[in-house]
Structure 1
Amino acid sequence: MENTINFGIDLGTTNSAIAKFIKGEVVVFTNPQDFGRSTLPSVVSFRKDKIMIGNKAKEFLEKDPKSVVGAFKRKMGTAESFKIKALNETKTPVDLSALVLKELKTFVNTGDSLESVVITIPASFDTIQSNATKEAGAQAGFKQVILLQEPIAASLAYANMKKKMDMKEGLWLVYDLGGGTFDVALVEIKNGEMKVIDHEGNNFLGGVDFDRMIVEKLLIPKIEEEYSFSSLESDMKSASGKYNAKYYVLLRRAEEAKILLSAKSSADIVIDGFEDERGNDVDFEVTITRSEFNDLIKSAIDSTTDMIKKILTNKSLKSTDIQFTLMVGGSTYIPYVRQHVQEVLQIPTNCEIDPTTAIAIGAAYYAATKPKEFNNVVQARKENAISIKPAYQKASKEKEELFAARISGNVEGLFYRITREDGGFDTGLKKLSERINEDLPLVEDAFNFFKLTVYDELNNIVETNMDLIGINSGFAISGQPIPEDICLEVDDGDNPGQTRLLLVFQKNSVLPLKRSITFPLNKTLSKESSDQVIRINILEGPHLSPPEANKGIGYMEISGDKLKKDVSKGSDIEITITMTESRDLSVSAYLNMADQEFKEIFNPKKRHTSIEYLKEQVVDLSEKLDEEIEHATEKEDYEIAGALTKLKKEMEQVEDETETLALDDESDNRYKLEDRKRKIAQEISAATQNKRVQLAKEHYFEIKEECEKMIDENGNDYERQVFNGIVEKEEIFLTTNSPLKIQEKADELDGIIRQIQWRIPEFLVDIFSWLKRDSAKMNDQNVVKYLIEIGESAIENQQWDRLKDVNYSLFDQLPRTSREQLNTRIGFGS
Structure 2
Amino acid sequence: MTKMINFGIDLGTSNSLIAKFDKGSVEVFKNPNGFKETLPSIIGFRNDRIMVGDQARTYAEKDPKSVASRFKRKMGTTETVKIQSLNASKTPIDLSAFVLKELKGFVHSGEAVEAAVITIPASFDTVQSNATKDAGISAGFKHVVLLQEPIAASLAYANKEKSDDLRNSQWIVYDLGGGTFDVALVKIVEGELTVVDHEGDNYLGGSDFDSMIVEKILVPEINRRGNFEDLLAQMKSEKGKYNKLWTVLLHKAEEAKIELSTKASAEIDLGMIRDLEDDEGNAIDTILTITRSEFENVIKDAVDGTVDMMKKILTRNSLQSRDLKFILMVGGSTYSPYVRKRVEEMMNIPVNTSIDPTSAITIGAAYFAGSKEFKQEGAAPKASTNSQIKFRAVYNRNSQESEETFTAKVEGHTAGMFYRILNDDGSFDSGLKPLTTRIAEDLPLREGSFNLFTFKILDGQNNIIDVGFDSIQIAQGRYSVAGQMLPEDICLVKDDLSSKDTRLDLVFAKNCVLPTKGKRTVEIAKTIVKGSRDAITIMVVEGPSEKHSSTNKPIGILAITGEQISRDLLRGTEVDLTFEMSESRDLTVSAYLNVTGQEFSQVFKGQARHVDTRLLATEVLQLETKIQAEIDDAQANQNHDGAAKLEKLNDELQSLIVESASLSSDDVTDDRFKLEDKKCKIAQGIFELTASKRIDAAKANYLQVKSDTASMVQESGNDRERHQLKEILAREELHIHSTNPERIDAATSELQRLHFQILARQPDFLVGMFQHLEEIRPTMNDQAQAKQLIDHGRRLVATKNWDDLRDVNGQLWMLVPDTERAEEDVRLYTGIV
Same fold (TM over 0.5): yes
Say if 1:495 and 1:408 are closer, same or farther in 2 by CA, change over 3 A.
Answer: closer
1:482 match: 486
Q: Give 1:719 deviation, angstroms.
A: 2.5
Q: Give 1:384 deviation, angstroms.
A: 8.4
1:182 match: 181
Structure 1, unpaired ranges of 5+? none
1:425 match: 428
Q: Which amino acid aligns with 2:268?
A: I
For 2:221 and 2:50, how far apart are their aligned partners in 1? 36
Alignment equivalent of 1:449, drawn from 438, 449, 452: 452
Q: Which amino acid aligns with 1:520?
A: E
1:521 match: 524
SS at match of 1:274: coil
Once the two structures are superposed, what CA deviation does each residue of 1:147-182 show, in whole Å capped at 9, x if it has no partner?
000000001111111566522412210000000000
1:160 match: 159
For 2:168 and 2:576, how far apart are their aligned partners in 1? 43
For 2:785 and 2:210, how far apart are their aligned partners in 1? 69
2:324 match: 322
Q: Which amino acid aligns with 1:222?
A: E
For 1:330 and 1:164, how far apart are their aligned partners in 2? 22
1:112 aligns with 2:101: no
For 2:824 and 2:782, how far apart are their aligned partners in 1? 18
Say if 1:311 and 1:417 are closer, same or farther in 2 by CA, change over 3 A.
Answer: same
For 2:731 and 2:460, how far apart are their aligned partners in 1? 69
Q: Which amino acid aligns with 1:481?
A: M
Q: How does 1:152-301 map to 2 (within 5 A)?
A: 152-161=151-160, 165-272=164-271, 273-301=275-303
For 2:531 and 2:171, how far apart are their aligned partners in 1? 60
SS at match of 1:33: coil
Q: Give 1:560 deviation, angstroms.
A: 0.8
SS at match of 2:60: coil
1:18 match: 18
Say if 1:753 and 1:674 are closer, same or farther in 2 by CA, change over 3 A.
Answer: same
The worse-fitting range, judged by mean Cα deviation, of 431-440 and 787-796 is 431-440
Say if 1:164 and 1:291 are closer, same or farther in 2 by CA, change over 3 A.
Answer: closer
The worse-fitting range, judged by mean Cα deviation, of 42-51 and 784-793 is 784-793
The worse-fitting range, judged by mean Cα deviation, of 116-125 and 191-200 is 191-200
Say if 1:543 and 1:643 are closer, same or farther in 2 by CA, change over 3 A.
Answer: same
For 2:818 and 2:598, how far apart are their aligned partners in 1? 26
For 2:820 and 2:483, how far apart are their aligned partners in 1? 50
Q: Give 1:615 deviation, angstroms.
A: 2.7
Count of paired positions? 824
For 2:729 and 2:462, how far apart are their aligned partners in 1? 74
Q: Which amino acid aligns with 2:526?
A: K
SS at match of 2:9: strand
Say if 1:410 and 1:171 are closer, same or farther in 2 by CA, change over 3 A.
Answer: closer
For 2:338 and 2:404, how far apart are their aligned partners in 1? 46
Q: Give 1:49 deviation, angstroms.
A: 3.2
For 1:556 and 1:297, how far apart are their aligned partners in 2? 44
Q: Give 1:253 deviation, angstroms.
A: 0.6
Q: How does 1:348-747 map to 2 (within 5 A)?
A: 348-374=350-376, 390-405=393-408, 416-431=419-434, 436-453=439-456, 466-473=469-476, 474-496=478-500, 498-529=501-532, 531-604=533-606, 606-747=608-749
Once the two structures are superposed, what CA deviation does each residue of 1:709-757 show, in whole Å capped at 9, x if it has no partner?
2223323333233223322332222223111111111111112221222
Say if 1:409 and 1:502 are closer, same or farther in 2 by CA, change over 3 A.
Answer: closer
1:785 aligns with 2:787: yes
Q: Which amino acid aligns with 1:139?
A: S
Q: Is the 8 A contact 2:428 2:444 kept in 1?
A: yes
Q: Is the 8 A contact 1:10 1:119 kept in 2?
A: yes
Once the two structures are superposed, what CA deviation does each residue of 1:94-145 show, in whole Å capped at 9, x if it has no partner?
1111111111111111232111110000000011111111111011110000
SS at match of 2:722: helix
SS at match of 1:275: coil
Q: Which amino acid aligns with 1:40?
A: L
Structure 2, unpaired ranges of 5+? none
Q: Give 1:22 deviation, angstroms.
A: 0.9
SS at match of 2:270: strand
For 2:563 and 2:467, how far apart are their aligned partners in 1? 52
The worse-fitting range, judged by mean Cα deviation, of 765-774 and 701-710 is 765-774
Q: How does 1:785-804 map to 2 (within 5 A)?
A: 785-804=787-806
For 2:164 and 2:536, how far apart are their aligned partners in 1? 58
Say if 1:771 and 1:637 are closer, same or farther in 2 by CA, change over 3 A.
Answer: farther
Say if 1:532 and 1:823 are closer, same or farther in 2 by CA, change over 3 A.
Answer: closer
Q: Is the 8 A contact 1:415 1:456 kept in 2?
A: yes
The worse-fitting range, judged by mean Cα deviation, of 141-150 and 640-649 is 640-649
Q: Is the 8 A contact 2:143 2:377 kept in 1?
A: no
Q: How does 1:138-153 map to 2 (within 5 A)?
A: 138-153=137-152
For 2:753 and 2:386, how far apart are their aligned partners in 1? 62
Q: Is the 8 A contact 1:131 1:605 kept in 2?
A: no
Q: Is the 8 A contact 1:452 1:466 kept in 2?
A: yes
1:101 match: 100
Q: Give 1:805 deviation, angstroms.
A: 2.6
Say if 1:458 and 1:382 are closer, same or farther in 2 by CA, change over 3 A.
Answer: closer
Q: Is the 8 A contact 2:554 2:606 kept in 1?
A: no
Q: Is the 8 A contact 1:164 1:445 kept in 2?
A: no
For 1:34 and 1:145, how far apart are their aligned partners in 2? 28
Root-mean-square deviation (CA, aligned residues, Å) is: 2.7
Q: Which amino acid aligns with 1:145?
A: V
For 1:481 and 1:825, how far apart are their aligned partners in 2? 36
Relative to the length of structure 2, the TM-score reads 0.94
For 1:701 and 1:413, how far apart are their aligned partners in 2? 71
Q: Is the 8 A contact 1:129 1:605 kept in 2?
A: no
Say if 1:724 and 1:433 are closer, same or farther in 2 by CA, change over 3 A.
Answer: closer
Q: Is the 8 A contact 1:3 1:467 kept in 2?
A: no
Say if 1:581 and 1:163 are closer, same or farther in 2 by CA, change over 3 A.
Answer: farther
Q: Is the 8 A contact 1:200 1:308 kept in 2?
A: yes
Q: Percent identity?
A: 50
Q: Which amino acid aligns with 1:53?
A: V
Q: Which amino acid aligns with 1:527?
A: K
Q: Give 1:294 deviation, angstroms.
A: 0.7
For 1:461 and 1:753, how far apart are their aligned partners in 2? 68
Q: How does 1:20-169 map to 2 (within 5 A)?
A: 20-35=20-35, 37-161=36-160, 165-169=164-168
For 2:811 and 2:566, how far apart are their aligned partners in 1? 19
SS at match of 2:286: strand
Say if 1:679 and 1:49 are closer, same or farther in 2 by CA, change over 3 A.
Answer: same
Q: Give 1:564 deviation, angstroms.
A: 2.3
For 1:274 and 1:737, how far apart are their aligned partners in 2? 59
The worse-fitting range, judged by mean Cα deviation, of 558-567 and 404-413 is 404-413
Q: Is the 8 A contact 2:554 2:607 kept in 1?
A: no
For 1:411 and 1:720, how far apart are their aligned partners in 2? 56
Relative to the length of structure 1, the TM-score reads 0.94
SS at match of 1:198: strand
Say if 1:53 and 1:803 are closer, same or farther in 2 by CA, change over 3 A.
Answer: same
For 2:666 and 2:626, how far apart are their aligned partners in 1? 28
Q: Is the 8 A contact 2:456 2:470 kept in 1?
A: no
